[in-house]
């Protein structure tokens, strides 16, 4: 482990060779009194995970990083950080791999795509200690050199798409972009601008999508995000469904065939 003040654009960085999880380590440091902002990175994770605790392959060559924030995040505003982080990562990849800019898209709520294939994901986790503001870990994983095989959806990595960007170079760009996006977000007061920027880069916006919830699957048109970041799905009957947690797929025969093999997640709220 070493502390490096240059690799994270002015934000402190603790870099590890191996960790179970950068998010878990960041939150552990917060419990011990560490004050953010602080980046925690690892060359390899042994217990990397995605949303809802899903395991994720974390071998060397990719970027595994978490930004610890311990300044106050207003109640209910932590989920907005996923959109902030997604934009920052889009900015950073555009900087280190400019030839990929036209192929980059943001997939609701927490993935980045190149030509429709996932190459990066974001996981926001928070812990609250009595008498202290919540500690938030913004976990980011980017497939730089390789990607998992045999997944039920398309995946890729930067190298496979022609970019030689290294995890170190990407982290430098990401840290600077994250600072800029966090300043614009301004603890939630600037979410309207973040929302507009996210929508300008959104995958599937205005088209038909499938959303898998805990108890059902919905097909409809991805109309927009509401003011708190929920996906607004226009159902065939004309009503709007506000999706808080779910899995989004393009409505292809392949997607329909693999839906039954994917993990379940949350739900939606109908808006008449």
Task: For residue range 35-89, list pLDDT tens digits in order.
Answer: 999 999 999 999 876 554 555 557 899 999 999 999 878 888 999 999 999 999 9
Instruction: Tell me, yes or no, whether 114 and 140 share the same domain.
Output: yes
Three-point CA angle 57, 118, 25, nearest 5°: 40
CATH number at residue 243: 2.30.30.100
Instruction: Tell me, yes or no, whether 12 and 89 share the same domain.
Output: yes
Q: Is 196 within 8 Å of 205 (Cβ atoms)? A: no
- Residue that terminates a domain, selected from 199, 228, 245: 199
Domain of residue 249 covers 208-271
Phi (first) and psi of residue 216, to 5 degrees: -165, 170
| Average of per-residue pLDDT across 102-106 | 98
Instruction: Tell me, yes or no, whether 53 and 165 share the same domain.
Output: yes
Instruction: Tell me, yes or no, whether 132 and 255 share the same domain.
Output: no
**9 — pLDDT class (breaks 50, 70, 90):** low
- Residue that terminates a domain, selected from 137, 170, 199: 199
Task: For residue range 200-248, list pLDDT tens digits in order.
Answer: 999 999 999 999 998 899 999 999 999 999 999 999 999 999 999 999 9
Mean pLDDT score across all residues of the chain: 88
Instruction: Tell me, yes or no, whether 77 and 143 share the same domain.
Output: yes
CATH number at residue 158: 3.30.930.10
Residues in Cβ contact with 86 at an 8 Å cutoff, skipping those fewer than 6 apart: 106, 110, 112, 122, 198
Instruction: Tell me, yes or no, whether 76 and 177 share the same domain.
Output: yes
- How far apart are alpha carbons 268 and 31 in whole angstroms? 33
* Domain count within the chain: 2
Instruction: Tell me, yes or no, whether 113 and 221 share the same domain.
Output: no
């Amino acid at each position: 482990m070493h502390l490096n003040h240059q690799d994270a654009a002015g934000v402190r960085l603790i870099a590890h060779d191996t960790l179970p999880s950068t998010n878990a380590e960041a939150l552990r440091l917060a419990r011990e009194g560490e004050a953010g902002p602080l980046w925690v990175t690892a060359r390899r994770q042994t217990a990397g995970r995605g949303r809802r605790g899903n395991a994720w392959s974390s071998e060397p060559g990719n970027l595994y990083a978490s930004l610890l924030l311990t300044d106050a995040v207003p109640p209910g505003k932590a989920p907005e950080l996923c959109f902030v982080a997604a934009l920052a990562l889009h900015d950073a990849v555009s900087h280190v791999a400019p030839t990929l800019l036209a192929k980059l898209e943001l997939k609701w709520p927490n993935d980045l795509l190149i030509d429709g294939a996932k190459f990066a994901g974001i996981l926001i986790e928070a812990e609250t200690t009595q008498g202290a503001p919540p500690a938030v870990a913004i976990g980011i994983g980017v497939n730089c050199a390789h990607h998992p095989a045999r997944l039920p959806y398309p995946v890729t990595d930067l190298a496979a798409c022609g970019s030689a960007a290294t995890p170190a170079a990407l982290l430098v760009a990401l840290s600077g972009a994250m600072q800029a996006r966090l300043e614009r977000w301004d603890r939630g007061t600037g979410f309207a601008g973040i929302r507009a920027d996210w929508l300008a880069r959104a995958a599937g916006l205005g088209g038909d999508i499938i959303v898998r919830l805990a108890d059902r699957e919905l097909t409809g048109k991805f109309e927009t995000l509401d003011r708190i970041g929920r996906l607004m799905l226009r159902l065939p009957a004309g009503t709007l469904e506000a999706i808080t947690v779910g899995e989004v797929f393009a409505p292809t025969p392949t997607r329909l065939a693999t839906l039954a093999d994917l993990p379940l997640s949350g739900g939606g709220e109908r808006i008449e």
